[in-house]
Structure 1
């Protein structure tokens, strides 16, 4: 990942004024209204990408594939995200925010069609990969666009509110997806088709609304040669940037666990196979991440990080306790294991939201002029690597190891990362 860091921008490199309002051809919303339309579009697209979480068990029951295939399907999504972030996450600094986000909506619509028309394991991998490409194009660009729109609508306002709304749209969307998927899985006909048709309609609707959001980037007149993602961070700030990136890695590892194989843990460890319950558990974890950003938004970034790191650590320890208690006999042990697993996930999820918001705030503070989307893409790239690699390792380990030591190994890895990165993030923030 060191190749992502390069020296600061030189005078010969084009500078894109990230917050410069472009002319308004035709009908455009005010920047304040555009801010909220962008947030809703961001939330809907993120929700679409976690709808399959409680549906994986239905696919598995229908086709009989092992749990590792679920992690491969999930890894295909995260790989698509990282590939798009690396190749295109920074392009909105040059091409404009609207063009890139509308492209993301179109890609997500293609993924929804693929889910309907190609529902076997191979098709799921392809559809998830395509969906990941759209999210990789979307995340950093939508985060940057929200910051731009807020600064223009409220001159002199800080980036804190925009960062909070970006985090809530991101994590809130991830929370709503499993809940909606769980409802479809339990009570709606054709649960492996209907949710994708519903979201296809929603994607068309938000894409249409977003088309009226004003642009905030004036593309440079000269056309520089295309290059993949790089992040220009001053040498004195790179320690803070890497700490933020690894904090995001650890945080998204937890979301990856609850977005992929948590239903397997519920079924095998806790003997809970209800699809709606699986959706509610994932919703609770992601929802806690979104809610924590709202509840604690008035705290300084430093205090949010302290609380977030502590919450992640406590939650991870509770997950380890759930794994250990699940091996004991008796109904009381099962109840305790369930409380520890769900409660630990919710507490860790709250920490995820605060830590990731802190990582985005760090990236925003380090951004200059025309590289806001680029520098934010680097944080998302590291975060989605955390969403990919540890859960994929969990799925591979389950082929040869029992569930309990695999979960304990996951907890040990993520706990070590957050205890390393967290204090460094705290020291460099206010």
Structure 2
């Protein structure tokens, strides 16, 4: 008879991680170690936050790299795409191995990869260096996200057994999506001081990452390694046995939501400094922060809302936000541009939460990891392809015009998503 499965911890976006058998998870902590698990929860959350923040630190600095080495907007999108490739590759190869290796045995190498990326950023500003640094950073993030989220839920369950509260899910959202926005804001503020703007942000984050390593070392392990390690194989992206139409909607929602995130973390800071003539690196970081902050806020605040409701609200919000955002770009109005970013980010957060929850609910427990791997691969195509398309258009058109064309394509995609959702509901 197979071992009973424990409740699957929720990811930062509200989905569930693959089930873990009772034999693989450490038994509940004795009363004397409750305090250690409580402290470990917050230590892992801090390390999670620092790592995700580091991954977006280059975003407000791209215009400085362009000025130093003559990069084009399209080159910036290629550098950003290297990060997306790294994340997707790590998700497939290592996103699931902490279920039997242990959480800390995956978290520590993941943060170590971020430290390697930090050292590369500090070593120079050349294109080859940036490409390798972003790729390595993507590998670390792909290893860390699901593992850290699962670790948070298990640490919470160890020191508050029987508590089905929302704390782990909300904390994971803040650390993951909120960390992405916070990293750009902090890096922009540090660069704005004028003190080694392409060095100081990375030095600060390297220190924070080293503290993150210490935090993970102190936190208790929550997974008991099995006597016989399962045979390794990559997670195979696959369609589950649920409703094919609903899964297609989920993939489309993931692509549309990450398209917004990709544009804002690659091209938007350059647009603010170029077309809008605001050279402040703090402002460039703020532009990224408002988008991810809005996405994190709506995800944390709607954890009990049905996926179908999230999907409809996400389509409406992202469509409205794209219209406002494009209007701000075409008219050169920074205030309108920022409002559009907030609304668009909120819609993107709702869309991805709805899509990932749909895939997780439709998959059999033994297939859930592979199903979510497929969803994330589609999402990271959305992260890179539209941003690269925008970079190509910007080579022959003004950036505002290029963004208007991309917004038109995304609005058509959102319209198809709304129509598909309506037919599926019927």
Give the deviation of 1:262 after TM superposition: 0.4
Give the deviation of 1:48 after TM superposition: 0.3
Structure 2 distance, partners of 1:19, 1:405, is 57
SS at match of 1:119: coil
Work out whether residues 81 and 136 of structure 1, in 8 Å CA contact, stay in contact via their aligned partners in 2.
Answer: yes
- Pairs within 5 Å for 1:207-226: 207-226=213-232
Q: Give the counterpart of 1:273 among 257, 274, 279.
A: 279
Q: Give the counterpart of 2:77 among 53, 59, 71.
A: 71
Structure 1 distance, partners of 2:47, 2:366, is 23
What do the CA deviations read for 1:155-183 (whole angstroms, capped 9, x no partner)?
A: 55558654443322221111111111111
* Matching residue of 1:6: none
Work out whether residues 305 and 426 of structure 1, in 8 Å CA contact, stay in contact via their aligned partners in 2.
Answer: no
Give the deviation of 1:63 after TM superposition: 1.4
CA RMSD of superposed structures (Å): 3.1
- TM-score between the two structures when normalised by the length of structure 2: 0.84
Q: Give the counterpart of 2:21 among 10, 17, 21.
A: 17
Structure 1 distance, partners of 2:356, 2:132, is 30
Unmatched tracts of structure 2, length 5 or more: 1-17
The reply on whether 1:176 has 2:182 as its aligned counterpart is: yes
Unmatched tracts of structure 1, length 5 or more: 1-13, 327-333
What do the CA deviations read for 1:59-106 (whole angstroms, capped 9, x no partner)?
A: 111112212111111111111111111222222233222211221111
Q: Structure 1 residues 362, 163: closer, same or farther in 2, change over 3 A?
A: farther
Work out whether residues 233 and 366 of structure 1, in 8 Å CA contact, stay in contact via their aligned partners in 2.
Answer: no
Q: Give the counterpart of 2:63 among 37, 46, 57.
A: 57
- Pairs within 5 Å for 1:180-199: 180-199=186-205
Q: Structure 1 residues 272, 106: closer, same or farther in 2, change over 3 A?
A: same
Structure 2 distance, partners of 1:367, 1:155, is 27
Give the deviation of 1:316 after TM superposition: 1.0
The reply on whether 1:39 has 2:45 as its aligned counterpart is: yes
Structure 1 distance, partners of 2:370, 2:23, is 14
Q: Structure 1 residues 172, 141: closer, same or farther in 2, change over 3 A?
A: same
Give the deviation of 1:255 after TM superposition: 1.0
The count of aligned residue pairs is 406
SS at match of 2:25: coil
Structure 2 distance, partners of 1:258, 1:301, is 25
SS at match of 1:166: helix
- TM-score between the two structures when normalised by the length of structure 1: 0.83
SS at match of 2:357: helix
SS at match of 1:192: coil
For structure 1, which segment, 55-64 or 29-38, has the greater mean C-alpha deviation from structure 2 after superposition?
29-38
SS at match of 2:21: coil
For structure 1, which segment, 273-282 or 46-55, has the greater mean C-alpha deviation from structure 2 after superposition?
273-282
